[in-house]
């Protein structure tokens, strides 16, 4: 038996910990895998009972997600020239033809514009504000910071009605700008507080050295402070993006056409020609991808962001 150590976990502890982690991973990953699988099922497979785990994959869900279709009579179908591509073929098997593209691509792009736009704006304004709070003597700084934090003390949706009325009067309803501003307003308190913590940790001497070396304060800020704050900025950006990307309630309330994001759009697929679960699942899968990629790219920063400041160096 190996010597007992306080800091080094025993093999039994490691085994227990490993099991727990795997169990937790299974619990969280199963719904995602189910969505992924459902996206590749045919509609009958997707609602079969007992649920099918092994099935013949089909792209029908994805085809349905990206197209609108019309039902035609078997005679008319027979009269058509042979299908030009696989999508056409899948659709014809259900006695339908493709009428045109669906709005999903457009809605998805709206999500990208609004999600990344508001994240960028939150980070931009948040970094400047956090730097100011961290470095300058601001009258009533503590009260201002508390006020900024207090905007998070209720669920944002609590102010939905006033915002709805305000947006209608300002002509911001169903516009990209309106949604970007709204998500920025919600995210900025988080951004200011998180980033202030990060910037507080950067010694002032770095900027002072840059000032002495002949740079202006703004140059010192972006040449010396920003690179140091990159970790904080990245992790804050992930949090902001996840919120803006996943937000559903305001999107349902304030958008209907031009600026509608993917979350309120995906459920509307259900209504088109019966319960098309594979198309919904396909939409959800594609919708998950950008945040997943963004998070994987920045995951080192994310971990550091969560544990930041826990240990004083």
Partner 1 sequence: MAEIVIKNVRKEFGDFVAVKESSFTIQDGEFFMLLGPSGCGKTTTLRMIAGLELPTSGEIFLDGEEISQRPPSQRDIAFVFQMFALYPHMNVRRNLSYPLVSQGMARRDVRAKVDEVAGILGIRDILNRPVGGLSGGDRQRVALGRAIVRDPKAFMMDEPLGALDAEFREHMAEELRALHDRMGATTVYVTHDQLEAMQMGDKIVVMNNAVVEQFGTPQDIYDMPATMFVADFIGSPSMNFLPFEGAVQAGTDSVALNGATVGVPRQMAEARGKLVFGVRPEHIRLSDEGAYRGEVLAVEYLGTTQIITLETANGALKVRAPSGQVATVGETVGLGFDAKTITLFDAASGRALRSALNDGVLAHG
67 has which bridge partners? 101
> If binding is defined by CB under 8 A, does position 143 make contact with partner 1?
no
In terms of CB distance, is 8 or 213 closer to partner 1? 213
Q: State the minimum distance, in angstroms, from the CB of residue 231 to partner 1.
A: 11
Stretch of 163-171, 200-208, 253-261, 278-286 contacting partner 1, by CB under 8 A: 200-208
Please, which residue, 143 or 208, has the CB nearer to partner 1? 208
216 near partner 1, judged by CB under 8 A? yes
Q: Angle at the Cα of 10 (from 9 to 16), degrees rounded to 5?
A: 90
Considering beta carbons, is residue 8 or 208 the nearer one to partner 1?
208
Q: How far apart are CA 155 and CA 83, in angstroms?
A: 51
- Which residue in 3, 53, 140, 205 binds partner 1 (CB under 8 A)? 205
Collect all residues with Cβ–Cβ distance below 8 Å to 187 and sequence separation of at least 6.
118, 119, 122, 126, 239, 240, 243, 244
* Contacting residue, 145, 191, 194, 224, with partner 1 by CB under 8 A: 224
**Beta strands of the chain (E only): which ranges?**
67-71, 96-101
Decide whether 226 or 291 has the Cβ nearer to partner 1.
Answer: 226
C-alpha–C-alpha distance, residues 75 and 265, integer Å: 34
Smallest separation, CB 212 to partner 1 (Å): 4
CA distance 26 to 32: 10
For partner 1, the binding residue among 26, 212, 249, 270 (CB under 8 A) is 212
Contact 215, 232 (CB under 8 A): no
Query: CB under 8 A: which stretch of 84-92, 216-224, 281-289, 292-300 binds partner 1?
Result: 216-224
Site for partner 1 contains 186 (CB under 8 A) = no
Tell me how far, at minimum, the Cβ of 224 lies from partner 1, in Å. Answer: 6
8 in contact with partner 1 (CB under 8 A): no
Q: How far apart are CA 310 and CA 288, in angstroms?
A: 31
Q: Which two tokens stand for residue 189?
A: 């308190």
Single residue of 151, 175, 228, 268 touching partner 1 by CB under 8 A: 228
- Contact indicator for 229, 201 with CB cutoff of 8 Å: no
Q: Are the CB atoms for 55 and 75 separated by under 8 Å?
A: no
Residue 270 CB: number of other CB atoms within 10 A? 13
Distance CA(31)–CA(277), nearest Å, equals: 14
Q: In this chain, which of 9, 57, 105, 227 binds partner 1, going by CB under 8 A?
A: 227
Q: Which is nearer to partner 1, 12 or 137 (CB)?
A: 137
Q: Is 17 in the site for partner 1 (CB under 8 A)?
A: no
**Where do contacts with partner 1 occur on this chain (CB under 8 A)?**
203, 205-206, 208-216, 219, 224, 227-228
């Amino acid at each position: 038996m190996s010597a007992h150590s306080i800091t080094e976990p025993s093999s039994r502890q490691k085994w227990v910990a490993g099991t727990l982690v795997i169990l937790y991973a299974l619990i969280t990953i199963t719904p995602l895998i189910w969505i992924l699988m459902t996206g590749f099922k045919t509609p009958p497979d997707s609602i079969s009972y007992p649920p099918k785990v092994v099935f013949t994959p089909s792209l029908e869900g994805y085809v349905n997600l990206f197209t609108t279709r019309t039902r035609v009579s078997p005679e008319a179908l027979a009269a058509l020239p042979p299908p030009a591509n696989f999508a056409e073929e899948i659709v014809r098997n259900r006695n339908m033809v493709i009428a045109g593209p669906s709005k999903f691509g457009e809605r998805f792009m709206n999500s990208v514009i609004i999600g990344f736009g508001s994240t960028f704006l939150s980070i931009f304004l948040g970094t400047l504000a956090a730097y100011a709070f961290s470095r300058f003597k601001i009258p009533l700084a503590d009260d201002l910071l508390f006020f900024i934090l207090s905007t998070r003390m209720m669920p944002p949706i609590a102010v939905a009605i006033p915002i709805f009325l305000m947006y209608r009067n300002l002509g911001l309803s169903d516009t990209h700008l309106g949604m970007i501003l709204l998500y920025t307003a919600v995210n900025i308190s988080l951004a200011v507080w998180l980033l202030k913590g990060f910037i507080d940790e950067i010694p002032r001497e770095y900027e002072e050295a840059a000032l002495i070396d002949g740079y202006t304060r703004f140059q010192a800020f972006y040449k010396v402070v920003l690179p140091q704050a990159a970790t904080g900025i990245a992790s804050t950006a992930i949090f902001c993006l996840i919120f803006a990307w996943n937000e559903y309630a305001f999107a349902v309330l304030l958008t209907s056409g031009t600026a509608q994001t993917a979350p309120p759009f995906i459920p509307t697929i259900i209504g088109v020609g019966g319960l098309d679960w594979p198309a919904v699942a396909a939409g959800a899968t594609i919708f998950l991808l950008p945040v997943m990629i963004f998070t994987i790219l920045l995951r080192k920063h994310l971990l550091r962001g969560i544990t930041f400041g826990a240990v004083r160096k």
